[in-house]
Amino acid sequence: MYLSAGIPTDQLPARLNRPFAIAVTGHCQLSNLATRRFVERALSTLLDQLQRLDLGDIVALSGLAAGVDTIFAEVVLAQGIPLESCLACADIAANFAPGPERERFLMLVERSRRVYHLPYIARSNTAYMALGHWLVDTSDLLIAVWNGQPAAALGGTGDVVVYARQRERPVIHIHTVERTIRLLLPTPSSR
């Protein structure tokens, strides 16, 4: 059986004795409305297909950052998948302008089944990298919505993808420039 773009389902972990955790990492800004719509459709289709597999219960994990994280959270909740959030730092709400953006963020926090807090007070690249590690280490599958480029700063999407591949976590890459979806193979370990 295959997911979107011919991704074989045998590359996913077998049914677990706990909920199958799907995490997301991605850009805070998408280049245009067409890219945003592509990402929304791709996430919706992938999540729908994953729910149809024999994975048992599914839970979604998000850092609720602006951009892809919040798009993912909204798609997840619309599909009735439980959302668990992890906040990189105590002042993360300051990333959202007062008004509708911040209200959207607070609504997603409120609708999360669980909210985890990392021990950082202020926003920093170190806090964002720790969040990326938490998402990878806590998940069974990572969805990376990403332009394929190295991270511009520590903790960027590229860094999280590198870490996931080193940890041999399956990564589905939704490429925001090429508008493709593919499975990234783990980086061979040097053990």
Domains of the chain: 20-141+153-178 (3.40.50.450)
Residue 186's pLDDT is 75
List of residues 6+ apart from 65 with CB closer than 8 A? 28, 88, 92, 95, 128
Distance (Å, whole) CA 85 – CA 92: 12
SS3 15: coil
Q: Is 73 helix (H, G, I), strand (E, B) or coil?
A: helix
Task: Look at the block and give the residue holding tokens 């499975």.
Answer: 183
Which position has the token pair 């399956």? 170
| pLDDT tens sequence across 38-65 | 999 999 999 998 888 877 889 999 999 9
pLDDT of residue 71: 95
Does residue 86 surpass a pLDDT of 50?
yes
Contact call for residues 123 and 96 (beta carbons, < 8 A): no
Report pLDDT for 156.
82
C-beta of residue 65 within 8 angstroms of C-beta of residue 71: no
Structure confidence at residue 10 (pLDDT): 63
Stated length of the chain: 191
Q: Would you say 51 and 14 are in contact if contact means Cβ atoms under 8 Å apart?
A: no
User: To the nearest whole percent, how much of the chain has pLDDT over 90?
Assistant: 62
Q: Which residue in this structure is represented by tokens 């619309």?
A: 78
Residue 126 clears pLDDT 50, i.e. is over it:
yes
pTM of the model: 0.89
CA angle in degrees (0–180, nearest 5) for 134-52-166: 30
Separation CA 14–CA 129 (nearest Å): 28
- Which has the closest alpha carbon to 183: 5, 41, 1, 36? 5
In the chain, % of residues over pLDDT 70? 89
Please give the Cα distance from 76 to 64 (Å, whole number): 12
